[in-house]
């Protein structure tokens, strides 16, 4: 057998075993070695990363992909579910990226969480999350994908609520689970439709058989699933709330891996999506709305983690737009490049937060460039990559997406919104850098702010390297599925750059206005809309639960009893018959003799008529 065909699946399966081993070592009753997190877990991830490079190189060099079917789970006469892995370009590229980012984050977490009494458990949770994520991306049938989907959802809940003594963290974890559950309705709808119509949950069979059907319903279910998991507009509030979790959690789950699961699902199922105009338009419009709305919200936030969270949400909207343009490869490229610079932004934020004694408000930071030059430089590099600076990682994906947008036949408003959101990206990125790194410190001098710990610097260094070269490397080595537009007017080619620079200059101008006052009384309405997140959480998180809970209780305890017993049952008989009874008894005038004689007379006449 060809050695490539053996190597690729073998390496990927070995990765599963390498990652599972530390989790299995926790299943004995003895307490773990205090060094377990560093020695076992981080080493396992590092080893798994280097192992995953072999399939990556095989893919790049030979275009090798593999599908592996192992154990038969259930087999009825007509329906098979087996453990089925698909090691195609998407999973073979995503796995090393995810492992690289996780390796850096775990090393950072060994510093960030070193004073936490449950650090070993924290690393175990992160490891289980990673295993679930890899199950998700390598799944070749919907059942396995669903296992990974739910797995990442549960680990997200456990990790957001890591500091469970804090009510806000519990609320945020609950929020994440509930919003994801609403999305799961869509996924399960799609799975049931597929099981009943296409008789299989295998991706290959689904794609072949789906050409004859009208797929609007399952595809809308899929889009609902992606809306929930990837925080698109209407199911988005859980993502900024998820910042209640520790920074390594935010860096791994809520920027690089878990939130892209929804987009990844749409990428995997793109063959079903590409012929359905309604689904594509929905993706496009929803993505455009999300990217602009969350960019608006990011403009006035003061918590550094929230700004980065909204930035993530905005980029997820951009990925959704790309899917709506029928360009799954570009969306996947953006997933990979975004993982690097977003994780780096979170790690830099975490380093700054910890150095400033857990201060997260950017209005109380400043001058960090003098105090932590490496971290603030990497913050700048990450922000530049995010805005799509030419030839950094973000450029290859973002610029390609905007070029595809400009040259496609699409909804003009979606195009406008995406371009506006691109300029807002530059604005809020500058906001972070301006408030954190530039000017003078706005906090009291604290005991040593330093960058001496290699556990902090090396991960950020690695991710910075990734943010610079990853886009280039991946673009060089994958073949495009669609012919990219070869010619376009210069303005369209430079459009992304122009709007970004516009946004940057506007933000710089606004920053210089922060020491001047032009109006006597400011107009707070736009600021309120942006700062209170479009009022969406306020309205939805108060109206919906209040209506559901009060209605539920009122119906269950009072209304049912009242309806059945009083308005339509025994008491209703009583109240309805009260009027006729009173009327009848009031009509009675007590003339018994007259009534009796009338009765006998009537009876006599009737009998006489009957006899004759």
Partner 1 sequence: MSGASLKLGCVHVHYCFQKCIFIAVSASGATKDSLPGAYPKTPEERAAAAKKYNLRVEDYEPYPDNGEGFGDYPKLQDRSQHERDPWYKWDHPDLRRNWGEPMHWNFDMYLRTRVDTSPSPVPWSTMWKQLFGFVGFMLFMFYMGEKFPSYQPIAPKQYPYNNLYLEKGGDPAKAPEEVKNYEI
Q: Which chain residues interact with partner 1 by CB under 8 A?
A: 167, 170-171, 174, 281, 285, 289, 406-416, 488, 492, 525, 528-529, 532, 534-536, 538-539, 541-542, 545-546, 549-550, 553-554, 557-558, 561-562, 566
Alpha helices in 269-372 (DSSP H): 270-273, 277-298, 304-324, 328-355, 368-371
| Pairwise CA distance, residues 376 & 35, whole Å | 30
Min. distance of Cβ 208 from partner 1 in angstroms?
31
| Burial of 101 from C-beta contacts in 10 A (0-12 / 13-18 / 19+) | buried
Structure tokens at 47: 């080893």
Q: What is the 3-state secondary structure (H, E, C) of 372-386?
A: CHHHHHHHHHHHHHH
Compute the least distance from the CB of residue 549 to partner 1, in Å.
Answer: 4
**Distances in whole angstroms, Cα of residue 60 to Cα of each of 57, 91, 246, 328, 331:** 5, 13, 36, 18, 19
- Shortest Cβ 178–partner 1 spacing (Å): 11
DSSP state of 515: G
| Cβ proximity to partner 1, 553 vs 584, nearer residue | 553
DSSP bridge partners of 80: 75
Quick one: 407 or 475, whose CB is closer to partner 1?
407
CB 239 within 8 A of CB 231: yes
Cβ neighbours of 576 (radius 10 Å): 11
Rounded CA gap, 344 and 467, in Å? 8
Whole-angstrom Cα distance, residue 402 to residue 115? 44
Spatial separation of the C-alpha atoms in residues 345 and 252, rounded to whole Å = 11
Residues 6+ apart with CB under 8 A from 107: 42, 455, 458, 459
Cβ–Cβ < 8 Å for 212, 282:
no
User: Is-contact 429 311, C-beta < 8 A?
Assistant: yes
Residues linked to residue 303 through DSSP beta bridges, in sequence order: 361
Are the C-beta atoms of 109 and 123 separated by less than 8 Å? yes
Cα separation, 434 vs 379, whole angstroms: 11
Tokens for 21? 């081993």
Dihedral angle computed from the Cα positions of residues 289, 292, 297 and 300, in that order, rounded to the nearest 10 degrees: -160
Q: Compute CA distances 417 → 290, 317, 413, 422, whole Å.
A: 9, 11, 6, 9
What whole-number distance in Å separates Cα of residue 328 and Cα of residue 322?
A: 7
Residue 412 exposure: Cα atoms within 13 Å on the Cβ side:
0
Tokens describing residue 226: 């992606």
| Closest separation in Å from C-beta 165 to partner 1 | 9
Place of tokens 């295998």: 202
Strand partners, 87: 66
Distances (CA, A) of 95 to 56, 100, 310, 493, 563: 9, 8, 25, 32, 59
Total residues belonging to the chain: 612
Bridge partners of 85, per DSSP, are 68, 139
Task: Determine the 3-state secondary structure of 67 from DSSP.
Answer: strand
């Amino acid at each position: 057998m060809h050695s490539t065909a053996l190597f690729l699946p073998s390496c990927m399966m070995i990765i599963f075993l390498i990652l599972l081993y530390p989790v299995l070592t926790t299943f004995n009753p003895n307490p773990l070695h205090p060094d377990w997190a560093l020695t076992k877990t981080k080493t396992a991830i590092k080893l798994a990363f280097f192992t995953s490079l072999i399939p990556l190189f095989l893919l790049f060099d030979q275009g090798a992909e593999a599908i592996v079917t192992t154990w038969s789970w259930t087999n009825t006469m007509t329906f098979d579910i087996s453990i089925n892995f698909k090691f195609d370009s998407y999973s073979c590229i995503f796995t090393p990226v995810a492992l690289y980012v996780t390796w850096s984050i775990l090393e950072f977490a060994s510093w960030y969480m070193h004073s936490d009494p449950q650090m070993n458990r924290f690393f175990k949770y992160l490891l289980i999350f990673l295993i679930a994520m890899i199950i998700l991306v390598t799944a070749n049938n919907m059942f396995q994908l669903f296992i990974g989907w739910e797995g990442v959802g549960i680990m997200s809940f456990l990790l957001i609520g890591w500091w469970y003594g804090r009510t806000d963290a519990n609320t945020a974890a609950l929020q994440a689970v509930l919003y994801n559950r609403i999305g799961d309705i869509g996924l399960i709808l799609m799975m049931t439709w597929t099981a009943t119509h296409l008789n299989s949950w295998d991706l290959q069979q689904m794609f072949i058989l789906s050409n004859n059907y009208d797929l609007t319903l399952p595809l809308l279910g899929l889009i609902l699933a992606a809306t929930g998991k990837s925080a698109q507009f209407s199911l988005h509030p859980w993502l900024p709330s998820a910042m209640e979790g520790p920074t390594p959690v935010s860096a791994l789950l809520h920027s690089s891996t878990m939130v892209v699961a929804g987009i990844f699902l749409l990428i995997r199922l793109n063959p079903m999506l590409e012929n359905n105009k309604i689904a594509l338009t929905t993706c496009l419009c929803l993505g455009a709305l999300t990217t602009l709305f969350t960019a608006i919200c990011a403009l006035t936030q003061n918590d550094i983690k929230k700004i980065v969270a909204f930035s993530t949400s905005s980029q997820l909207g951009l990925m959704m737009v790309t899917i709506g343009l029928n360009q799954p490869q570009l969306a996947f490229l953006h997933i990979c490049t975004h993982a690097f610079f977003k994780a780096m932004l979170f790690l830099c934020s975490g380093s700054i937060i910890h150095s400033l004694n857990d201060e997260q408000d950017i209005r109380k930071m400043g001058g960090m460039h003098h105090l932590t030059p490496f971290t603030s430089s990497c913050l700048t590099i990450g922000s530049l990559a995010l805005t799509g600076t030419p030839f950094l990682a973000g450029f290859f994906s973002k610029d390609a997406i905007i070029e595809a947008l400009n040259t496609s036949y699409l909804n003009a408003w979606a195009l406008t919104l995406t371009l506006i959101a691109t300029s807002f990206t530059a604005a809020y990125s500058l906001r972070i850098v301006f408030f954190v790194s530039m000017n003078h410190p706005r906090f009291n001098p604290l005991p040593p702010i330093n960058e001496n710990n290699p556990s902090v610097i090396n991960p950020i260094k690695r991710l910075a390297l990734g943010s610079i070269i990853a886009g280039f490397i991946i673009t060089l080595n994958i073949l495009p599925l669609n012919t990219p537009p070869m010619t376009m007017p210069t303005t369209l080619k430079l459009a992304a750059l122009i709007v970004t620079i516009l946004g940057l200059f506007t933000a710089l101008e606004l920053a210089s206005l922060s020491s001047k006052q032009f109006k006597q009384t400011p107009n707070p309405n736009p600021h309120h809309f942006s700062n209170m997140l479009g009022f969406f959480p306020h309205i939805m998180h108060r109206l919906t639960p209040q209506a559901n809970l009060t209605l539920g209780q009122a119906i269950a305890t009072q209304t049912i009893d009242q309806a059945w017993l009083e308005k339509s049952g025994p008491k209703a008989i009583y109240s309805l018959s009260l009027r006729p009874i009173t009327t009848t008894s009031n009509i009675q005038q007590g003339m018994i003799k007259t009534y009796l004689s009338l009765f006998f007379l009537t009876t006599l006449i009737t009998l006489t008529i009957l006899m004759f």
